[in-house]
């Protein structure tokens, strides 16, 4: 039995582990503080589905909802007040690691309204507004990696707002993000502004297997998500070794870290740490659901870290293509479905806030 938990061993190897969850109970009961001190968690992500569940399934937010209603806040305004109250507290928990790493780690994330996925102009203004409203340097604003979203990412990075680019599903999506982020930095340099604006690029993993398992042979099941993760990691390491990036690095820029998201297994027959142990990679982030975190901390496997290029991946990609998996088409489909799922959660959450506010009238 190792002296240090698997989560701490991954942290020691250079991978940041973040929690993909936030609730008032995590904050009020000291659970988040325990994860930080005992499991080495160094950041946190949220999304509309997480908040839909938190607000719908508990009474923890009811009093604040009534207060916001009494003050005349809109339903959406109420949500952002609730979420930012939580995220400010969480950001304070991570402030020491944010300071220690000089702004590389220790972030929390808030997503703009998912209704804006194809509205670049409003996304830009909302990202700037929400970051200022949050008032914390270690608050990421999440922007989807859609075509319009990436236009917003460049502008928001230029404005100096830290960004978590979410809903990316493929190496091609990631490469497109690697266009938007450095352009924003290069424009800052040209304008005489600082080159360090923190960012992560979130590539979703497990949904690939959820989509492909029903159409591929048994020998390929639950292997596509890990393949996509490894391919994205290779692109990540490749881009940040380029002369283009090295010039920006010399001017004070820091790499936009690759973040592995959606790392809870969809197939109950698979080990809970499938997408954690399989994507152990230095200089990256893995944000995981609470049950995945606890399972990994208890029984997780810690092996060798990912290589920049994984032998056999090209052949494996060919096998998937031969089995009928069109990776580009499936990535587009997953991104569209992911965006729609967040809209569904967002709409349900706002309806629940409206209902709870109405009950207080």
Neighbours of 355 (CB within 10 A): 11
Q: What secondary structure does DSSP assign to 211-266, as a single string?
A: HHTTTS-GGGTT-HHHHHHHHHHHHHHHHTTSHHHHHHHHTT----EEEEE--S-S
Q: What token pair was written down for 315?
A: 């052949």
| Backbone Cα Rg of the chain | 20
Write down the residue that tokens 């972030």 correspond to. Answer: 107
Neighbours of 24 (CB within 10 A): 18
* Catalytic residue, candidates 53, 142, 266, 356: 142
Alpha-carbon distance 280 to 10, whole Å?
Answer: 7
Q: State how far the alpha carbon of 142 is from the alpha carbons of 121, 157, 178, 304, 350, in Å.
A: 15, 12, 16, 31, 19
Ramachandran area for residue 102 (φ above 0: left; ψ -120 to 50: alpha; else beta) = left
| Annotated catalytic residue 356 | no
Active-site amino acid positions: 142
């Amino acid at each position: 039995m190792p002296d240090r938990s698997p989560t701490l061993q991954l942290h020691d190897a250079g991978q940041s582990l973040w929690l993909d969850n936030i609730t008032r109970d995590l904050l009020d009961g000291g659970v988040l503080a325990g994860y930080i001190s005992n499991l080495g968690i160094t950041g946190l992500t949220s999304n509309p589905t997480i908040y839909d569940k938190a607000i719908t399934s508990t009474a923890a937010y009811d009093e604040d909802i009534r207060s916001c209603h009494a003050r005349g806040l809109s339903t959406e305004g109420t949500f952002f007040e609730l979420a930012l109250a939580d995220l400010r507290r969480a950001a304070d928990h991570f402030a020491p690691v944010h300071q220690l790493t000089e702004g590389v780690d220790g972030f929390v994330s808030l997503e703009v309204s998912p209704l804006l996925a194809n509205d670049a102009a409003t996304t830009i203004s909302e990202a700037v507004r929400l970051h200022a409203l949050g008032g914390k340097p270690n608050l990421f604003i999440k922007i989807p990696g859609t075509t319009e979203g990436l236009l917003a990412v460049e502008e928001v990075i230029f404005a100096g707002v830290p960004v978590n680019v979410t809903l990316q599903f493929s190496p091609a999506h990631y490469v497109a993000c690697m266009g938007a982020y450095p352009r924003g930095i290069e424009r800052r340099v040209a304008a005489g502004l600082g080159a360090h604006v923190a960012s992560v690029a979130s590539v979703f993993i497990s949904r690939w297997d959820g989509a492909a398992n029903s159409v591929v042979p048994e020998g390929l099941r639950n292997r596509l998500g890990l393949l996509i993760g490894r391919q994205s990691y290779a692109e990540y390491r490749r881009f940040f070794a380029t002369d283009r990036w090295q010039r920006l690095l010399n001017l004070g820029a820091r790499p936009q870290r690759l973040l592995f998201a959606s790392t809870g297994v969809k197939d109950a027959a698979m080990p809970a740490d499938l997408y954690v142990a399989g994507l152990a990679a230095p200089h990256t982030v893995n944000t995981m659901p609470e049950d995945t975190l606890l399972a990994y901390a208890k029984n997780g496997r810690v092996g060798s870290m990912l290589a920049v290029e994984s032998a056999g991946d090209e052949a494996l990609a060919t096998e998937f293509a031969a089995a009928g998996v069109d990776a580009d088409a499936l990535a587009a489909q997953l991104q569209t479905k992911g965006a729609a799922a967040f809209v569904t959660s967002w709409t349900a959450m706002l309806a629940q806030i409206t209902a709870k506010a109405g009950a207080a009238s």
